[in-house]
């Protein structure tokens, strides 16, 4: 079954995308899904012990992009791409069908046209798996009403990522037993990213991570992301071949 979509979009002309384009990509996902599914994802999602999670995740944009710090934007001079994954095949398939039906896309003030779309299965990976973050991984706790973000150099980072991953697997009725271990591989302070989503300032981390877990839980990491805020464009990871 299909659990991953890769989307290529071509701008009508060189256009500026704000650094906060994640908000636009999230909105595109909801707009292109079937209405009933979109409403359920947006308003409900799947219950977990600590709340609910929206079972999809998407990557950063890649492609013909140049930073324009003076405008707090990226200049798209050619095709750009992103990946979306979901443990629910109806989400990936519904999003793909919506894009094929409505191939003209608006992100902020920029207009794009769907150039290419590929659908992929996500097979069960072998363990341990070397994963690369294609969107920053973020985890936090609330202290005195404020978010306290953790770094990969603190033990709480791995503990919270794995706790979150096990909760997602449980919500998806996947096997949750077995030992889980996460370690950064070559991650340095330069992998830190400060991102903005709506009014939130979010700290996340790119880089590579070795995840040891049962294959079913590894599969959840690939289709639902690592860490928090997957449906806001954080925690998308891929296996490094």
CA nearest neighbour of 133 among 22, 236, 25: 236
The pLDDT, as a whole number, for residue 202 is 94
State yes or no: is 236 an active-site residue. Answer: no
Q: Which helix (H) or strand (E) holds 41?
A: helix 35-43
How many whole angstroms separate alpha carbon 104 and alpha carbon 110? 11
Q: How crowded is the C-beta side of 5, counted as CA atoms within 13 Å?
A: 28
Q: What dotted CATH number matches 4-120?
A: 3.30.70.1890
Q: Where in the chain is the domain with CATH 3.30.70.1900?
A: 129-239
Is 42 labeled as catalytic in the residue annotation?
Answer: yes
Instruction: Quick: pLDDT tens for 55-76.
Output: 999 999 999 999 999 999 999 9
Distance CA 20, CA 156 (A): 27
Query: Which parts of the chain register pLDDT below 70?
Result: none
What is the per-residue burial (b if ≥16 Cβ within 10 Å, else e) of 49-75? Answer: eeeebbbbbbbbbebbbeeeeeeebbe
pLDDT reported for residue 181: 97
122-171 pLDDT, tens digit each: 998 999 999 999 999 999 998 888 899 999 999 999 999 999 999 999 99
* Cα gap 149→153, rounded to integer Å: 12
Looking at the chain, which residues constitute the CATH 3.30.70.1890 domain(s)? Answer: 4-120
pLDDT at 186: 95
Q: Does domain 129-239 have CATH number 3.40.50.1820?
A: no
Q: To which H or E segment does residue 160 belong?
A: helix 155-171
Computed over every residue of the chain, the mean pLDDT equals 94
Catalytic pick among 3, 21, 30, 236: 30
Nearest to 128 by CA among 48, 29, 213: 213
């Amino acid at each position: 079954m299909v659990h991953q979509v890769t989307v290529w979009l071509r701008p009508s002309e060189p256009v500026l995308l704000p650094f906060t384009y994640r908000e636009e990509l999230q909105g595109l996902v909801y707009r292109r899904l079937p209405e009933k599914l979109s409403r359920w994802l947006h308003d409900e999602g799947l219950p977990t012990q600590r709340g609910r999670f929206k079972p999809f995740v998407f990557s950063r944009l890649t492609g013909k992009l140049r930073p324009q710090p003076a405008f707090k934007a990226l200049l798209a001079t050619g095709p750009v791409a992103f990946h979306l994954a979901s443990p629910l095949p109806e989400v990936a398939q519904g999003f793909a069908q919506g894009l094929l039906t409505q191939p003209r896309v608006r992100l902020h003030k920029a207009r794009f046209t769907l150039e290419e779309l590929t659908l992929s299965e996500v097979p069960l990976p072998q363990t341990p798996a070397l994963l690369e973050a294609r969107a920053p991984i973020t985890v936090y706790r609330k202290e005195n009403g404020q978010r306290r973000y953790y770094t990969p150099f603190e033990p709480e980072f791995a503990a919270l990522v794995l706790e979150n991953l096990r909760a997602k697997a449980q919500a998806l009725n996947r096997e949750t037993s077995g030992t889980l271990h996460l370690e950064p591989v070559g991650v340095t302070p330069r992998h830190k990213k400060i991102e903005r989503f709506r009014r939130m300032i979010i700290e996340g981390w790119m880089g590579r991570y070795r995840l040891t877990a049962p294959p079913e839980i590894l599969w959840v990491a690939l289709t639902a992301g690592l860490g928090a805020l997957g449906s806001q464009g954080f925690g998308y990871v891929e296996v490094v071949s």
